[in-house]
Structure formats: C-alpha cells, structure tokens
Structure 1
Amino acid sequence: MTQSAQIRTLEGRVALVTGAGGGLGRGIALALAEMGAKVVIAARRGVTGEETAALIRAEGGEALALEVDVTVLASVQAAVGAALERFGGLDILVHNATHGASGHPKQLEAFDDQDWDDQVAVDLAGAHHCALAAFEALRGSDAARAVFLCSAFGLHGAALNPAYAAIKGAIRGLTKALAREWGPFGITVNAISPAALTSAAEAFFASNPALYQDYLGKFPLGRIGHERDDVGRAVAGLCGPGMGYVTGQIIQVDGGLYTAV
C-alpha cells in the first residue's frame, strides 16, 4: 500500500462518478476509493461499471455499480437515489461522462445537427442533469464537493474539434455560475482540465510513435499524466477537507502542458 493510500482523507464520504466504466472516470473512482470514499460508479454500460467496482472492492473499498444514461435526468436521479439508499448520503459529485465522438477531430462543416446534439447531450446536458439530481443531496452534506471535467480546449479553442471546444467552454461557465449559486449552501464547485494517457490514447500512440514523442515533448514535466495517480488523486485532493475554501476554479492537471492559459 502506498503512502497516499494510507491517508484516507475521504473516509465516510460518498461519491458519485459518471463515465466511470473506464478511462479517466475509472482512475478518478479508484483514487476516491483509495482515500476512503464509498463510490457509486455510474457507467453507460453496466459491465464496465462492474469492472471498476470490482477493482475498488479488490483493494478493500466499497462501490456500487449502476448503468446510468446521463442524457436522461430520471436516470441520474435514480443513481443519486441509489447512493442515498445504499450509503446514506452524497458528498461528492464528479461529472466525467463524455460522448465517444468528442475526442475525434471533425471540421465544423462535417457536423450535422445530430452529431452536435449527441455530444451536447452527454457532456453538457449531462452536467446539467447531474447538478439538478444531486443538489438536494449535496446540500445535506457538511463537506459537499462538485467537480466537472473541463479542458483547455474550452479556453484556447480546438482546431478541428469545435463541438468539444464549445462544450468545454460552457462547462467553464457552468462551474463558475454554480460556485456562486451553491456557495451559500457550503458546496464547492470546481473543474479540472486534465491531460492523461488513457488506454485509447495509448493505442493511438502505439501506432504513431513519432506523434507520441512530439506530444511528450510539450510537457514541462517530461511525462504524460496517469489516469489514477495524477488526475484521479488531484480530484480526490480537491474533494478533501483541506480544499473547502477553493471554489469556482478551473484547475489545470496537465503537467504544465498549457502553461500559456
């Protein structure tokens, strides 16, 4: 067990993480559990959610896996209800779910209305649904935290990815607005803009080693972040007791990749 795993700053807390069936969501869920939180795994496919829950249980943590469609408010409400029923409360909300097409470059003229709406439904409307569904439960916590996944693309723009840039820019605005709205209830609201080597990125770079070296060279720290150890633990830290006075912030967790923003 690592030293970080022994400092269980989230002991007794309950977290709900969307898009936690793999990738960054899985890394975040594992890190939250490592710090002592009981984690509700909200995944589009139940089997992948169960895989994440099994990893948490194998490390001695508590997890509940649910099949959740964040594009449907009732589905997210049911997940919050399950968290309350199973674990007795909700202290942490992490909206990580992202449409599968969000990371694929595509020029604006190639988008039709359905392409655009599909991404907005998961990434942005999903954030709205999570906020609506979780607010009352978070208001009942004495240390409530909400964290949204953002991107530097939402600040500096993203060539060939206008929908993703627009959505993440909107997430920035939502984060700041909710920080103001929910502050009087003691709920902090922040977002992180991560850079991590997901399994999908690893597969891509394996076929394009020259591109990997070029990308790696852009990181001042000389490495690309890890889903759990870097991004997940940053989220866990942001949800911890020492960060209760931080709200309305967009935090770059990217090894210095976007030092210009």
Structure 2
Amino acid sequence: MKLQGKVAIVSGSASGIGRGIALAMAKEGAHIAIVDVNEEKGKETLADVTQFTEGMLFIKDISVKENVYAIVDAVVKKFGKLDIMVNNAHASRQALFIETTQELLDLSFGTGFYPTFHFMQAAYPELKKTKGKVINFASGAGLEGQVTQTSYAAAKEAIRAISRVAANEWGPEGINVNMISPIALTAGVEQWRDSAPQLYDEMINKIPLRRLGDPEQDIGKAAVFLASSDSDYITGQTIMVDGGSIKLR
C-alpha cells in the first residue's frame, strides 16, 4: 500500500489513462477525487474506486479557473489535505499546421495547459504542507513534432516547460514535479484499431515492446511510483512510459 492515507486529485479520470491512474492509486490506498465532464463514466469510475478506498466525484468544466480552485478547496475540506495532483485531462483536434486555427489552439490550451497551470497554482499551498507530488502529462506528439498535432504538441510542450520551472522553484520545499509521456490502449485507440487494423499493426511494430500500455497496469503503476516516496529523489523529469518508442537524451 504505497499510497496509504494519501489524497489525490486526478483530472480526466472518468475513462482512459486517467481512470487507470485513479484505480491504480486507489488500490494502493489513496483517496481519489475524480474530475471529469462525463457524468456517466465518472460515476462508473467512482463505483470502482470506492471498492478500495474513499472517493469523490466532480463533474466540472476545468477550463473555468474558478472550478479548479473550488475542486481543490472541496477536496481539502473533506480529507484535510492534498498529497498528489495528477493533471491528465486534455482535449484537442488534429489539423495540418497551416490549417490550425485559433479555435483549435484555444481548445487544446483551454482543456490541457491552462487547467494544468491552474491546478498547480491552486494545489501549491496544500502540496507545500504535505511535501506532495505533481504528475503532469507530456506526449510524443510534442517530443517528435508529429504531423497534424500542432495545437496538441504545443500545449503538451508548454506543460513540460512549466513543470520544469515548478520543479526548480518548488524542489526546496519538498514538492516533486514530474511528467509521464504515455502510449496506452484506450477505448478510442481500440476503435481505431478495429477500423484500421493494418495501420494499427504498423504502429505496434514500431514499438520495441510490441504492444500498447495498459492504462492501469502500465501507466497507472508508473504514476503510483511517481506519487510515492519511492520517487522522492526524482523531479523535473519526463518519464517515457511508451514501450521504448522514444528514448530521451
């Protein structure tokens, strides 16, 4: 029980990677605040989480700054503290660079970068008290400059930038800030696999471990490591949980 008694907020945790992280942390003893806009899926995840621990559900639009602060306040009011902040939520749409509009940039930054930034600011006073952990999310889209991913790549690299700044500024106060860059088999990827099996197989063959990560068993356990005392001497790092696809230097 690596996270026994810890309190975590996990954004975008009704499904996919966020759900996997919420479940992995719950099974290690953490109390989980699930944050999402999908009420049906959020309730399903809450039901699964509460088989192992206490949980809360927030169906909130976190592109609204006031909602972010209200979530942090409610979590601290219920549990008395905050130990772990996981910023997973992000939405975007693909377009060629020349066709990327302000609307597409606003979507990606408004659902990914700004909520991450605001959650970090809102959580900071509490994380300072607990010498807590921040886990943010990077992407190969930004690291490699994947085509049609201008808005997503830009927001993800902006998240990496502020994460490194916070790691430097908050390190003396005992707060660790790290990033995960994942590849995972989510419901959306499963749909794509079923509709384009040849392209899916081509992608798998480019991954050294020849499979996609499991949201709970692979990405979730990496998040548990970064949230636990096992990672106390790691900060400001991008952890590639992608089967060896990208090797940082």
Instruction: State yes or no: 1:164 paired with 2:156.
Output: no
Distance in 1 between the 2:130 and 2:248 partners? 37
Partner residue in 2 for 1:28: 21
Q: Partner residue of 1:132?
A: 121
> Which residue identity does 2:89 align to in structure 1?
A
* Superposed counterparts of 1:6-21, under 5 Å: 8-21=1-14
Aligned mate of 1:109, from 81, 91, 98: 98
**AA partner of residue 78 (structure 1):** A
Q: CA deviation at 1:206?
A: 0.6
Q: Quick one: which amino acid aligns to residue 156 of structure 2?
A: K
Q: How does 1:204-215 map to 2 (within 5 A)?
A: 204-215=192-203
From 221, 225, 237, give the equivalent of 2:213.
225
Equivalent residue for 2:112, pick from 123, 133, 150: 123
Cα distance in 2 for residues equivalent to 1:70 and 1:185 = 27
The alpha carbon displacement at 1:260 in A equals 6.2
* Structure 1 residue 9: Cα displacement: 0.6
State the SS of the aligned residue for 1:166.
Answer: helix
Partner of 2:211, secondary structure, is: coil
Q: Residue in 2 aligned with 1:86? A: 78
**What's the CA shift string for 1:181-226, capped at 9, x where partnerless?**
1112110000010000111000111111111111111111121110
CA deviation string 1:148-199 (max 9, x = no partner): 0111222221111111111111111111000011112110000010000111
Is 2:66 the partner of 1:74? yes
Aligned residue pairs total: 249
Contact 1:73 1:133 in 2 (8 A): no
CA RMSD in angstroms, aligned pairs only: 1.3
CA distance in 2, matches of 1:260, 1:34: 31
TM-score (norm 2): 0.96
Please give the secondary structure, in 2, of the residue aligned with 1:124: helix
Please give the alpha-carbon distance, in whole angstroms, between the structure 1 residues aligned to 2:100 and 2:20: 31
Distance in 2 separating the partners of 1:123 and 1:20? 14
Contact 2:113 / 2:158 at 8 angstroms: preserved in 1? yes
Deviation at 1:235, TM superposition (A): 0.4
CA contact (8 A) 2:9 2:84 kept: yes
- Aligned equivalents of 2:2, 2:102: Cα separation in 1: 45
Residues 64 and 260 from structure 1, CA distance in 2 versus in 1: closer, same or farther, beyond 3 angstroms? closer
Distance 1:216 1:260 in 2: 20
Query: 133, 136, 142: which one pairs with 1:145?
Result: 133
Query: Displacement of 1:105 after TM fit?
Result: 2.9
SS in 2 for 1:140: helix
227, 233, 244: which one aligns with 1:245? 233
Structure 2, unpaired ranges of 5+: none
Partner of 1:62: 54
- C-alpha separation between the residues in 2 aligned to 1:167 and 1:118? 10
Identity of aligned residues (%): 37
* Secondary structure of the structure 1 residue equivalent to 2:130: coil
Shift of 1:85: 1.4
One-letter amino acid matched to 1:243? S
User: What is residue 4 of structure 1 aligned with on the other side?
Assistant: none
TM-score by length of 1: 0.92
